Amino acid sequence: MLQRSLPIFFAGLVGIFMAVQYFVLHPGMARIYNLVLDWKQVVFACTLMLGVFSLIRFHWRKIARRTADAFYSLVVVISCSITVLAAAVFGTETGPYTWLYDRVQAPMQATMFSLLAYFVASASYRAFRARSVHATLLLLAGAVVMLGRVPTGDLIGFELHGQRVSLASIAAWILDTPNLAAKRGILIGVGLGMISTSLRIILGIERAYLGLSRGTGADI
């Protein structure tokens, strides 16, 4: 029972403190707040090490069982081990770790993002089919923004009340007005969701982080 109630009590206590400290300007409260942030970094480092250990254990099991994709798991284990050893022995400023990051990690990331561009283009082609009024508006807005973000957008335009209106200016208006309004609405919804989730955790209603279903205390 203590293993369940103690984490809930601690989470609620820390949550209440983090909410109240914004409204208290006492220096002691600020010191406690900075102490909590320091401990957060310690917990983050521990969870990072736990994540690396779990990753290696997961792939090591696949290697031991000789599954169909065990070769890729072997590559992951060897690469992770070499990178960790290079950083621990030679440091992260210069040496093999820097070479691995600049010559291996960075090119792989660039390749991955380059491939993602083609997937985005494919998804955009499927989404921009004018099958309805909303899809047509999405297609027109997307076409205007894409053309307006390239140098050609400055060359395409028309005269309106004695002033030249280009696709670049229309694209800027779309991004700064309707797009920004929708973005702010989404951020407001996200903020309300964060507040709701925080209150559920503080009050002990949400217990998914303990591996328990909410409110029942039963194992999932």
Pick the closest to residue 195 from 9, 1, 15, 10 (CA basis): 15
pLDDT at 185: 94
pTM for this model (two decimals): 0.58
3-state DSSP assignment of residue 188: helix
Residues 160-199: tens digit of each pLDDT: 777 777 888 888 888 889 889 999 999 999 999 999 988 8
State the Cα angle at 75 between 69 and 76, rounded to 5°: 95
Report, as ranges of residue numbers, the positions in the chain whose pLDDT lies below 70.
Answer: 1, 127-128, 130, 212-220
Query: Who contacts 83 (Cβ-Cβ below 8 Å, separation ≥6)?
Result: 97, 100
Instruction: Report, in angstroms and rounded to the nearest whole number, the Rg of the chain calculated over CA atoms.
Output: 26
